[in-house]
A and B are shown apart, each in its own frame.
Chain A
């Protein structure tokens, strides 16, 4: 007995039922008939087995499942073994899957186990030459039909022409390859032939059996024909027919049910697949509520893509419903879009959704239902409106509050910002928070990110921005500038701050002006960062400049108010070393001014980001400053004047009293100590000194302080201040001179004629007459009073007094009707002494009065003259102290 078969090779080693499998091994049989058994995975496959050689069998696997051996059984070797195993698996069968177990009856596919159909139905047939047709893609240039009028290139046709075929499919194939192809065909044919022949040879026995059987059948039929006639076939046919009809009768119901089930199933599958569409109407609403707009856009576009062009009524209907929902969502979204406040991001999201939905819905019926051409623009406009509304709201809110608080309690509570200030802050905050949002939205819009159906309108957008900024400025102006002396300006405001016009509220507000300026500047800085057009920024800058000027001016006004009250801080202490008589007042003024300037410097003058130098850019500002300085200086002069004329009860006495006439002398103890022990005259002198100081140097110095703080030289203001001081000086001087001179001059006449003195009965005794003596003494008194306060004033005051004295003397002398000789000498001595003593303080008029007086007295002889001279010499020596005093000018 031959060795038992052993299987050692499998190609392939796994596959579904019906797989063509090449089995290799040893001792697999000596000839086809030697093979009597083949089992693969326990499944008998002998029927499909094709014995090739003792080493090779080709077979098809059966409906087994799982891993199993391949057992070959031969007559010669018995039951075999296998070293390897086949794995059978089932796969799901689809239309593209080649399968041995085809269940549909309509299949054209052959069921034969023995043949393997390489290509699925409709697949291009493989090239019969086994060659690739690559490179033959190009069509053969000539029309093959002309060359082969009778032929055909289709292998399956009777009039197949190989020439046609080759030209059509292989006109670019090389000869070598064609030869190879021929060899391939030959091999194929050979193997087929061999197969048939060998099949016949090896099955000769069974063929003979078949022949025998056929013969038997023939004789049987003949017998039957004899018995039943020759129509047996017809009967058979009838029977078959009737069996067909009855079978269809039986199965019709089943088939119908199956059909129905199939269609239901098909409908269910479709429904399932399209569940998405049917759920869509509700799901879009849900998503809209949840704010998941992306999902809506995606789902909707998917639905439109899938079903938009389908015209199955149910889909159309649902899709229409979806369209309507989407339309509603768009409406709602659009409403939502213009509802503020909300973040820019949220708006952008909505806008994008709207644009997407609009585009997708563009060519649907629903499209006409709602047209939001340009949602981004709508959003921008909505924001602009909102901005305005917020401004308005803040305005009415705060003005109302202001009105209420004004009614209930004058000026509101202490420590709390006035409503108007809070309003400014609020407006600035609104602008600084909302304008950037508008701007950002606009940027996104013009950058194309949110571009809608229509073209963007840059001009309009710019207008919106400008209007927004202007509105902000208008509101701020209305609050800040309201009810100051800007009555004319006020009428220009479209909006006016309705309350707070009271002076107290005003001054209260003024304190917060720098704070308001700060608010505006903060808003300004945040807007600058936005890259806005400079046109827009300039609007705010202008406002800022105005507020700066206004603020500055308010500082000055405050300073003026302080200056007006300076009289309270006068101490009458001399404070300027090289200008005796000047009190602390000027230095206090200087302090106030420096303080004011410093404050102005910090708050207004120093230009901040994107601001101008106030003085350079604004002639208004220069004028304002100049005006205010002038006001200050004048106010200061007024203070001096006020102080100068301040007369207390204690002061109401005349200090100069003629002892000759015998008025009781003023009691020196009565001098009030209220003004640092200074009498009114002394204070008056101080004021005079102050005036002089202002005129001569102080006001110019104040001017230089302004220059030091960066202001242009305030020449006009200083000049006008000086003029004022000068004028005041003259007035004060006049008053003082009158006050001092009148009693002094008035005492001369009575003193002259005291004791029934007659000029024609004079006996000259070589002495000065008492009246002259007294006059001289009185002048010394005045002199000393001035000198203690300010020697600088001596000349200015004494000069007019001396002049009146001289005038009075001239008058008195001219009234004398008769001089005796002694009288002439006496008069000469008196007058000449006074003339000489007061020489330093005599102006031309005074001098001419003295001359006139002497002339009236008449000429004296040389003898007398010598006598007079000698006497004068003696008297001057006696009065040397007084005379010395008059020789010191003080200047």
Chain B
């Protein structure tokens, strides 16, 4: 069919990362279609894109839902490269998934080579607070250490689901405007960004 026009509403590329079964897909589907999936089907790589209104401006959000399962770890690098912002999800009922966020963060920073890439630490399944394994302070501590926001969500109750996506989009947007504003003054950044654009186009 017809190719999408290259001009149009701004496109923000979001990538869902996190261990298997923490609810990345659940969050995505909740955000996209207001539905909650009870069954667990491991993801390989899913793609979603729709128009949303962000602070009165129509934009497109592109969500890449990646695989948490270790089996697919090798292909992650490729996916991460195209992301502009990351939702790093773990389940507050699963300490291992929390520990794994460290690795994901490192991998992202390595691939993106940018400390201030838009990034949110998301503690999911907060409706299961009685089964919590990761203390809130620990989560906040890590977020603070990384210099990123920390939000607790529930794909089941839809708590904070929109918030995390919109917050991330805002960060991406502000990064972009900042980037376009900055001129040849900072050669290093420019160089990095040009590279990034090459990949986008």
Contacts and interface: CB of A to CB of B under 8 A. Distances in A.
Interface string A1-32: 00000001111111100000000100000000
Contact of A55 (B35, B44, B47): B35
With a 10 A CB-CB cut-off, give which of B38, B39, B47, B62 has the most chain A CB atoms: B47
Nearest to B34: A55
A83 interface: yes
B46 A9 contact: yes
A88 to B, nearest CB: 14
B20 to A, nearest CB: 13
Nearest to A69: B1
With a 10 A CB-CB cut-off, give which of B39, B62, B64 has the most chain A CB atoms: B39
A360 interface: no
Contact of A11 (B39, B46, B49, B60): B46
A9 B32 contact: yes
B65 interface: yes
Given A24-B32, A69-B1, A81-B1, A9 B38 contact: no
B32 A8 contact: yes
A733 B64 CA distance: 136
B65 A11 contact: yes
Interface string B132-174: 0000000000000000000000000000000000000000000
Given A11-B65, A24-B33, A83 B45 contact: no
A11 B33 contact: no
A9 B48 contact: yes
Nearest to A9: B48
B188 interface: no
State the majority secondary structure of interface residues on A: strand
Nearest to B40: A130
B131 to A, nearest CB: 12
B186 interface: no
B48 A8 contact: yes
Interface in A442-487: none
Contacts of A15: 44
A84 interface: yes
Contacts of A222: none
A10 B33 contact: no
A71 interface: yes
A187 interface: yes
A818 to B, nearest CB: 156
A55 B35 CA distance: 10
B181 interface: no
B197 interface: no
Contact of B33 (A55, A69, A83): A55
Nearest to B64: A13
A433 B170 CA distance: 83
A84 B49 contact: yes
A24 B47 CA distance: 10
A10 B35 contact: no
B32 A11 contact: no
Interface string B76-96: 000000000000000000000
B133 to A, nearest CB: 17
Given A24-B32, A187-B38, A12 B43 contact: yes
Contacts of B195: none
Contacts of A71: 1
A13 B47 contact: yes
A61 to B, nearest CB: 13
B194 interface: no
Given A55-B33, A55-B35, A71-B1, A8 B46 contact: no
A15 B75 CA distance: 13
Interface in A48-96: 55-56, 69, 71, 81-85
B65 to A, nearest CB: 7
Interface string A526-545: 00000000000000000000
Contacts of B64: 13
A55 B32 CA distance: 10
Contacts of B43: 11-12
B61 to A, nearest CB: 10
Contact of B60 (A24, A82, A83): A83
B39 A187 contact: yes
Interface string B14-55: 000000000001000100110100110001111111100000
A96 to B, nearest CB: 13
Contacts of B1: 69, 71, 81-82
B50 A8 contact: yes
A84 B49 CA distance: 6
A696 B35 CA distance: 137
B155 to A, nearest CB: 15
A468 B153 CA distance: 89
Nearest to B35: A55
A8 B62 CA distance: 9
A56 B49 CA distance: 15
A69 B1 CA distance: 7
Given A9-B33, A55-B35, A14 B48 contact: no
Nearest to B38: A187
Nearest to A83: B49
A10 B44 contact: no
Given A11-B43, A24-B32, A55-B33, A84 B38 contact: no
A12 B44 contact: yes
B50 to A, nearest CB: 5
Interface in A228-243: none
Contacts of B45: 12-14
Interface in A714-756: none
A8 B49 contact: yes
Contacts of B25: 11
A12 B48 contact: no
A40 to B, nearest CB: 12
A83 B39 CA distance: 26
A10 B62 CA distance: 12
A10 B32 contact: no
B14 to A, nearest CB: 13
Contacts of B46: 9-13
A82 B3 CA distance: 10
A11 B64 CA distance: 10
A84 B65 CA distance: 13
Nearest to B51: A83
Interface string B161-201: 00000000000000000000000000000000000000000
B50 A83 contact: yes
A9 B47 contact: yes
Contacts of A13: 45-47, 64
Contacts of B44: 12, 15
A71 B48 CA distance: 15
Contacts of B65: 11
A82 B65 CA distance: 17
B125 to A, nearest CB: 15
Contact of A24 (B4, B39, B48, B62): B48
A14 B49 CA distance: 15
A324 B29 CA distance: 71
A84 B33 contact: no
A81 B2 CA distance: 9
A8 B65 CA distance: 13
Contacts of A85: 47
Nearest to A7: B49
A56 B46 CA distance: 14
A187 B65 CA distance: 25
Contact of B48 (A56, A69, A84): A84
A391 to B, nearest CB: 69
15 contacts: A9-B29, A9-B32, A9-B48, A10-B48, A11-B43, A11-B46, A12-B43, A12-B45, A13-B46, A14-B45, A24-B29, A69-B1, A83-B50, A83-B60, A84-B49
Interface of A: 8-15, 24, 55-56, 69, 71, 81-85, 187
**3 smallest A-B Cβ distances: which pairs?**
A13-B47, A11-B46, A83-B49
Given A24-B32, A55-B35, A83-B60, 11 more contacts: A9-B29, A9-B47, A9-B48, A11-B43, A24-B48, A56-B33, A82-B1, A83-B50, A84-B49, A187-B38, A187-B39
